[in-house]
Amino acid sequence: MKTLNKLALSSAVVALMAGTAYADAELTVGTANGDVGELGTPINLAAGSNFLQQNGTVELLVGEGATADFGIGGNASTLTFTLTGTGFVLNGAPAMVDRGTCTNAAIAPNVTGGIGDASFTIDVNNTFEANCGDAGNELSVTVPVILTDTSLGNSASASVSIAATAAPTVVIASDDLDDPIVDVVEPFEAAVTAGTNPVLSLDVDPSFSAFNDTAPNPPKADADLGTVNVSQFGGAAVIAIAAETAVANPAAITVTVTVEDATGIDNFTLDAPAATLAQTAEGANTFSVELTGADVGAFLGGDRTITANLLEDEDAAMVSAQAISVSVTSVDGDDAEIGSASTSGALASFDRDGTNSTSFEWVALEAANLNNIFRFTNLADDAQVFATITNLNSVDANDSNRINDFDLTAAGLTSGTSAGGELQITAVELGDALSDAGLLDLDAVSITRGAVQFTVEQNGVAVNRLMFNADGAVNSTGEFDNRPNPS
């Protein structure tokens, strides 16, 4: 018979009177087969489990591990247990269990209380053998109970007092279980842990088509982005506590990585099980794999590393600095009432070598009541500059609200760099260049706006913004966070 808890209540019976043998006595709560667990290891019951199945047994052991007769050995004595349950009630008649020759198991204990009571007493009137208390030869009383609430977050716990009478001495002690007997938990727990942001290299052609590696290694096409871990709660969740029936694994698990711009990315891979997350459709910003069969078990229960792999050789392309996320969804297994494994979270982001400005918000790409000038300082006259525009209130020629890596140098917008390394570009000039390149229709909305971020193929460049009104009056240089990213 399995039990509700696998906890040991150490030193629950303590001798208060010198000269008695109770100093070695213990009250423990363990399994009916004698496997006494460590204190603080509750059974994890999966939320959503069938309420009517949640019956089990609390077993009370006296004398587990005691080194000597604990004061009642060889005598006709009485032990009185008072058990008060939180989250469970009595569900049947307590019984003696033969664990060695400590007691006569045929003698049924007397119970004060009935089925459905949360607090009750159990009197054990018996003659105890002299070796009671030796390991494997303990007093054992099993108590059938049933949970009263299996809602998520609830738990079952107990307090126990024991009075031992062996003329002429009476010893009374009590204790609470330090931890619950049962915790009602989500069947699966999950976490996404981001790794260190990999940096896209300037020292490749085209720029940003590979990741920097540890010197003196050359740039590489792959980088680990972090881990995802989906496990049964506490390593083992059950749907029935009496039989300790484990939660079934999902029938299938889908792992999906989402990027902001898939240009230059080949795929993503999992290390366990070895699997490739392929692009879900041409041009899509999602990469996915479905795991079934043995691969589901291989995925659950540990940190699984996700690696980004870039296109190489003639297929290599500039990869955007961007945020990357992962999600895990699942199809229910045999336990349809049990919620399946799922999670989502941020992985490491792609950073770019050189200088990456902050993302300047609320930039009008045509004349408006609030206009923008971007000032670059410490800029070399041969440094290439790119602009990425996101969160457009319009769409580009590809029906996207994002334009990646528009080459300002090729468009002639950096030709005005001064001998001192200063360059000024207005947002209207940027908008006109995007329109001339066929990337943006400035007539699609009344005022075309977006967020603008610059990438410079040079370290140590500062990029700031000045905002001014339509009449030419300066509006602000600091209304928005315009500090450059020092990377």
DSSP 330-376: EE--S-TTS----EEEE-PPBEESSEE---EEEEESS--SEEEEEEE
pLDDT digit string (tens) for 72-82? 556 666 777 77
Contact 423, 414 (CB under 8 A): yes
User: What is the pLDDT, as a whole number, of residue 370?
Assistant: 87
Provide the β-strand partners of residue 327. Answer: 256, 344
Contact 270, 278 (CB under 8 A): no
Contact 60, 111 (CB under 8 A): no
* CA–CA dist 12, 25 (Å, integer): 8
Predicted confidence band at 376 (pLDDT cuts at 50, 70, 90)? very high
User: What is the pLDDT, as a whole number, of residue 398?
Assistant: 67
Contact 353, 199 (CB under 8 A): yes
Amino acid at 63: G
Domain positions in the chain are 22-185, 188-232+246-352, 355-476
- 3-state SS class at 422: coil
Span between the terminal Cα atoms of the chain, in Å: 63
Provide the β-strand partners of residue 45. Answer: 184, 238
Predicted confidence band at 483 (pLDDT cuts at 50, 70, 90)? very low
Q: Phi/psi of residue 234, each to 5°?
A: 65, 10
**Range name among 302-306, 327-331, 339-343 with the lowest pLDDT average:** 339-343
Predicted confidence band at 150 (pLDDT cuts at 50, 70, 90)? confident
User: What is the pLDDT, as a whole number, of residue 48?
Assistant: 78
Whether omega for the bond prior to residue 198 falls within 30 degrees of 0, making it cis, is no
Say whether pTM exceeds 0.75.
no
User: What is the pLDDT, as a whole number, of residue 396?
Assistant: 67
Q: Using alpha carbons only, how large is the chain's radius of gyration in Å?
A: 35
The HSE-up count of residue 284 (CA atoms within 13 Å, CB side) is: 13
Q: Compute the average pLDDT of residues 202-210.
A: 91
Using alpha carbons, select from 324, 350, 44, 407 the residue that is nearest to residue 201.
350
Q: Phi/psi of residue 314, each to 5°?
A: -70, -15
Provide the β-strand partners of residue 162. Answer: 81, 173
User: What is the pLDDT, as a whole number, of residue 1?
Assistant: 34
Contacting residues for 8 by C-beta, under 8 A, at least 6 apart = 28, 29, 30, 36, 37, 38, 39, 64
User: What is the pLDDT, as a whole number, of residue 212?
Assistant: 96
Among all chains, which residue has been given the structure tokens 């207005």? 426
Contacting residues for 116 by C-beta, under 8 A, at least 6 apart = 89, 90, 91
CB atoms within 10 A of CB 53: 17
Which CATH code is given to the segment(s) 188-232+246-352? 2.60.40
pLDDT digit string (tens) for 358-371? 999 989 999 998 89
* CA–CA dist 196, 429 (Å, integer): 37
Compute the Cα dihedral for 257, 259, 262, 263 and give only its sign. Answer: negative
Using alpha carbons, select from 37, 243, 59 the residue that is nearest to residue 144.
59
266 vs 320, which has greater pLDDT? Answer: 266
Mean pLDDT for all residues in the chain: 79
**Range name among 125-139, 190-204, 329-343, 415-429 with the lowest pLDDT average:** 125-139
**Angle (nearest 5°) at CA 203 between 202 and 209:** 65
Contacting residues for 422 by C-beta, under 8 A, at least 6 apart = 375, 376, 377, 379
Q: Compute the average pLDDT of residues 147-165.
A: 76
* CA–CA dist 41, 53 (Å, integer): 21
Q: Phi/psi of residue 299, each to 5°?
A: -80, -40
Using alpha carbons, select from 415, 410, 480 the residue that is nearest to residue 451.
480
CB atoms within 10 A of CB 297: 12
Q: What percent of the chain has pLDDT over 70?
A: 76
Q: Compute the average pLDDT of residues 169-189.
A: 69
* CA–CA dist 342, 44 (Å, integer): 18
User: What is the pLDDT, as a whole number, of residue 110?
Assistant: 84
Q: Does this chain's domain 22-185 share its CATH topology with 188-232+246-352?
A: yes
State in words which class domain 22-185 has: mainly beta
**Most confident region among 106-110, 233-237, 309-313, 399-403 by mean pLDDT:** 309-313
